[in-house]
Amino acid sequence: MLLTAICAELHAGGRVTVVEAADLHLHAYLQAETQQVERLSAYLRTETPSPCPERCDIPSLPETAIQHRLHNELTERGVAQTPALNARIGVIAQAMTKAVRRSRCQARSASPFFSIEPLEDADEAIVRLRCDLPDAAVALRHAATLREQGERVSVDTLMHAHQAAAEALRQAPLRTAEVEMLMYRDTGGVWRLMQPANWMAYFLSLLERADAPATAVPAANLYLRAYLGFAAADRQRQEDYLQSARDPMWDGPDATLADLLTSLGQDSTWGEETSIARLTSTFVINHSEDNRLIRLFDGISGQRIRALSQQMVAVMKAAQCTATQVDALPLDHSRNVRVSVRCQLPDISAVNATIQQRVDAGVPVTEEDVNALIAALASPIRHARTSSLELALIGARGDTWYVPPSKVSDMGLTMLFSGGQDAP
């Protein structure tokens, strides 16, 4: 009777939007209260009847996902799953499940996955969520890195780490974060998430980044100052930050981290030579000569290219680029976050339009174009522009944020030549 009433309610309300459908899934998956699960079941049945496996395991989430994580890890090690060990895993999974259910997410908006089509015609959509998440990210990442160490970590140590993570989740303060997730429309027009167990595995990975609003923003600012060459002291702070990611507990340094520390002695800031290399390696398609690739700055003297490079470097040094907030936590298995960045930049839109015409026509820029660009870059008038920068967690403990120099320079060039977005 309850399911029949809910079906009638959903039908009476008209077609369910992707934002409404996201909320139906989120509430059922996270809280799994009877009425919430029934509402999702009713929605999934409104147009295309589906079998029980689509929904019947919802009440056991995230307990099943947590158990699978630990059982799979022990199976890979060849550890026998004794009744005592299974009972211990069950206690940990129940404790973590209760703590994870403290999470609250609300769908706020949606946009088509492919931006060229309107949302009403899209088959896939990115839904923006606002979530209050228990911030036990440090304990969860510690447990995750112990799993990744395999047989080098004893089973008892692994279990203790997950027990500690469950307790940290139970006591942790809630932290608000913006989150994105992908939904798709089935052949009957019903908006769906992936299978519940898979989605919960993604959500558990998301909780490992719950501290990003407090940790990723200052890290992003550290890299912005170091890479844009503000001062030698900022480069030293960057090196100190990366050095702190070393963990003497493990034999053999993290390969990624070792490479980064080795490269610190090289010139990784956005310097003059880097800028020249980017300018001279920019090609366009010459449509009048069998679509042959030609250099955009072909025919421009080295002196003028160097002058343009020097002006671009000066602009970015004075841009006062600042990371302001975490833009979004992708709901996936990656350890990435996207941070909003605000810079003060000159308006070069007029001369850039001329250069874009050259690109579209497949012809090189002229010396006059370069001179006009240098003059526009030298303007003392600045406008606030925003863009984003993606950082990833690295290191043996998985607690150090990193972004390579190339991403910072790409962000700067994109903001400079595309204008970015007007800052609010």
With cut-offs at 50, 70 and 90, classify the pLDDT of residue 5.
very low
Chain centre to alpha carbon of residue 313: 28
With cut-offs at 50, 70 and 90, classify the pLDDT of residue 94.
very high
| pLDDT tops 50 at residue 13 | no
What is the rounded average pLDDT of the residues 357-370? Answer: 89
Highest mean pLDDT range out of 60-74, 123-137, 266-280, 405-419?
123-137
| pLDDT tops 70 at residue 340 | yes
**Selected residue with higher pLDDT from 383 and 151:** 383
User: Alpha-carbon distance 205 to 193, whole Å?
Assistant: 16
User: Alpha-carbon distance 70 to 93, whole Å?
Assistant: 9
| pLDDT tops 80 at residue 64 | yes
Three-state helix/strand/coil letters over 256-268:
HHHHHHHHCCCCC
Range of lowest pLDDT (186-200, 320-334, 342-356): 186-200
Helix, strand, or coil (residue 33): coil
Residue 197 makes CB contacts below 8 A (sequence gap 6+) with 57, 61, 64, 65, 68
**Selected residue with higher pLDDT from 359 and 162:** 162
| pLDDT tops 50 at residue 312 | yes
| pLDDT tops 90 at residue 188 | no
With cut-offs at 50, 70 and 90, classify the pLDDT of residue 259.
low
Does residue 424 have a cis peptide bond before it, meaning omega lies within 30 degrees of 0?
no
> In this predicted structure, what is the pLDDT of residue 417?
84
| pLDDT tops 50 at residue 251 | no
| pLDDT tops 70 at residue 145 | yes
What is the rounded average pLDDT of the residues 260-266? Answer: 53
Residue 31 makes CB contacts below 8 A (sequence gap 6+) with 101
| pLDDT tops 90 at residue 108 | yes
**Contact predicate 278/236, CB 8 Å:** no
> In this predicted structure, what is the pLDDT of residue 273?
78
**Selected residue with higher pLDDT from 399 and 50:** 399
Q: 401: which strand partners? A: 393
**Selected residue with higher pLDDT from 110 and 245:** 110
Q: What pTM, to 2 d.p., does this model score?
A: 0.81
> In this predicted structure, what is the pLDDT of residue 176?
93
What is the rounded average pLDDT of the residues 93-120? Answer: 90
Q: Dump the DSSP string for 357-374.
A: HHHHHT-PPPHHHHHHHH
| pLDDT tops 60 at residue 250 | no
What is the rounded average pLDDT of the residues 392-412? Answer: 84
What is the amino acid identity at position 142?
Answer: H
Helix, strand, or coil (residue 48): coil
Highest mean pLDDT range out of 155-159, 288-292, 294-298?
155-159
> In this predicted structure, what is the pLDDT of residue 253?
46
**Contact predicate 297/364, CB 8 Å:** yes
Percent of the chain with pLDDT strictly greater than 70: 86
Residue-wise burial string across 339-348, b where 16 or more C-beta atoms lie within 10 A, e elsewhere? bbbbbbbbeb
What is the amino acid identity at position 396?
Answer: A
CB atoms within 10 A of CB 376: 17
Highest mean pLDDT range out of 271-285, 286-300, 320-334?
320-334
Residues 63, 202, 19: CA angle, nearest 5 degrees: 105
With cut-offs at 50, 70 and 90, classify the pLDDT of residue 230.
low
Query: 388 to each of 50, 397, 412, how far by Cα in Å?
Result: 40, 25, 10
CA atoms within 13 A on the CB side of 288: 7
> In this predicted structure, what is the pLDDT of residue 294?
84
* Strand 383-394 with 322-330, pairing: unpaired
What is the rounded average pLDDT of the residues 204-233? Answer: 89
Average pLDDT, the chain: 83
**Selected residue with higher pLDDT from 117 and 50:** 117
Q: 329: which strand partners? A: 179
Range of lowest pLDDT (138-142, 322-326, 360-364): 360-364
What is the rounded average pLDDT of the residues 392-402? Answer: 83
